Amino acid sequence: MRDLICAQQITPELFSEIYETALKVKEALRRGRKKFSTLRGKCVVNLFFEPSTRTRTSFEKAGKFLSADVINVSASASSVKKGESLIDTVRTLDSMHPDVIVLRHPCEGAPQTVKKFTRASIINAGDGRHQHPTQALLDAVTLKEHLKELKGKRITIIGDIANSRVARSDAALLKSLGAEVAVFGPSTMMPRYPEALGVKKLNSFEEVAAFSDAVILLRIQLERQNAKKTFPSIREYATLFGLNGQKLAKLLPHTLILHPGPFNRGVELNNAVVESPRSLIFNQVETGLAVRMVVLSMVCNRIDQLKEEVQ
Ligand code: CP
- Convert the pLDDT of each residue in 116-158 to its tens digit: 999 999 999 999 999 999 999 999 999 999 999 999 999 999 9
Annotated binding site for L-aspartate: 82, 165, 219
Average pLDDT for residues 182-211, to the nearest whole number? 92
Picking from 184, 206, 205, the residue whose alpha carbon sits closest to that of residue 194 is 184
Residue having the nearest C-alpha atom to atom 5 of ligand 1? 52
Domain total in the chain: 2
CATH of the domain at 119: 3.40.50.1370
Per-position b or e across 126-157, b if 16+ CB within 10 A of its CB: bbbbbbbbbbbbbbbbbbbeebeebeebbbbb
Is 221 close to ligand 1, i.e. is its CB under 6 Å away?
A: no
Is 133 close to ligand 1, i.e. is its CB under 6 Å away?
A: no
Is 271 close to ligand 1, i.e. is its CB under 6 Å away?
A: no
**Tens-place pLDDT, residues 284-306:** 999 999 999 999 999 999 999 99
Q: Are 146 and 271 in contact (CB under 8 A)?
A: no
Shared domain check, 139 and 100: no
pTM of the full structure: 0.96
- Cα–ligand 1 centroid distance for 164 (angstroms): 12
The burial class, CB within 10 Å (0-12 / 13-18 / 19+), for 228 is exposed
pLDDT value at residue 113: 97
- Cα–ligand 1 centroid distance for 49 (angstroms): 13
Shared domain check, 190 and 92: no
Q: In the predicted model, is pLDDT for residue 227 greater than 70?
A: no
Ligand 1 atom, smallest distance to 50 CA: 6
Shared domain check, 80 and 142: no
**Tens-place pLDDT, residues 51-99:** 999 999 999 999 999 999 999 999 888 898 899 999 999 999 999 999 9
Shared domain check, 212 and 164: yes
- Cα–ligand 1 centroid distance for 177 (angstroms): 23
Residue having the nearest C-alpha atom to atom 3 of ligand 1? 55
CA dist 38 and 198 (Å) reads 38
> Cα torsion at 52, 198, 178, 207 (round to 10°)?
90
Shared domain check, 234 and 138: yes
Ligand 1 mutation pick, 54, 123, 160, max ligand atoms within 8 A of CB: 54
Could you tell me the pLDDT band of residue 228, with boundaries at 50, 70 and 90? low
pLDDT value at residue 291: 98
Structural domain contains residue 194? yes
Is 55 close to ligand 1, i.e. is its CB under 6 Å away?
A: yes
Q: In the predicted model, is pLDDT for residue 27 greater than 90?
A: yes
Picking from 17, 62, 28, the residue whose alpha carbon sits closest to that of residue 44 is 62
- Cα–ligand 1 centroid distance for 262 (angstroms): 6
pLDDT value at residue 299: 98
Shared domain check, 218 and 298: no
Average pLDDT across the chain, whole number: 95
Shared domain check, 212 and 165: yes
pLDDT value at residue 311: 87
Range of the domain at 269: 133-284
Average pLDDT for residues 271-275, to the nearest whole number? 96
Q: In the predicted model, is pLDDT for residue 209 greater than 90?
A: yes
- Cα–ligand 1 centroid distance for 281 (angstroms): 12
Could you tell me the pLDDT band of residue 196, with boundaries at 50, 70 and 90? confident
- C-alpha distance from residue 116 to each of 111, 113, 201, 295 (Å): 9, 6, 38, 21
Shared domain check, 194 and 278: yes
Is 53 close to ligand 1, i.e. is its CB under 6 Å away?
A: yes
Q: In the predicted model, is pLDDT for residue 201 greater than 90?
A: yes
- Cα–ligand 1 centroid distance for 39 (angstroms): 24
Residue having the nearest C-alpha atom to atom 6 of ligand 1? 52
pLDDT value at residue 192: 80
